[in-house]
Amino acid sequence: MAYVFVGIGGAIGSILRYFLTYLHSPDSAMPYGTLFVNLTGSFVLGWFTARFASFKKLHPHLSAAFSTGLIGSYTTFSTFSLEIVNLADAGHYFYSFAYLAVSLAGGILLCWLGYKAAFMKREG
């Protein structure tokens, strides 16, 4: 049954990613759409994990549907990797490095901030 929940979450997450990627992709060498979904997904996964998943507040099927299904399909490491290769191949070395640095550092920072934000309400 968990597979069904993950599949439903995955369908929703991939549709959201597709919509937001193209909504946030101006005519630029920099892939802002993928950057946006990966950074927001990092924050949301950090928050969700701290708020719900780590304390077993949700049924395991719902937790898997949200984290593995929805957020897992919303964010995309493979597209991120391909875009770095495409930027470098097109000679956009600065954009390639900037995209890599902002994605990695920003993703980790936003995941941490999301994790910490989940505890703010309880402590405050």
Q: How far apart are CA 90 and CA 35, in angstroms?
A: 19
Terminal-residue alpha carbon distance, the chain: 38
pLDDT digits (tens, 9 = 90+) for 44-69: 999 999 988 666 778 889 999 999 99
pLDDT digits (tens, 9 = 90+) for 86-113: 999 999 999 999 999 999 999 999 999 9
* Domain assignments of the chain as residue spans, ordered by start: 2-123
| String of DSSP letters for 16-83 | HHHHHHHHT--SSSS-HHHHHHHHHHHHHHHHHHHHTGGGT-S-HHHHHIIIIIIIHHHS-HHHHHHH
Q: How far apart are CA 124 and CA 120, in angstroms?
A: 6
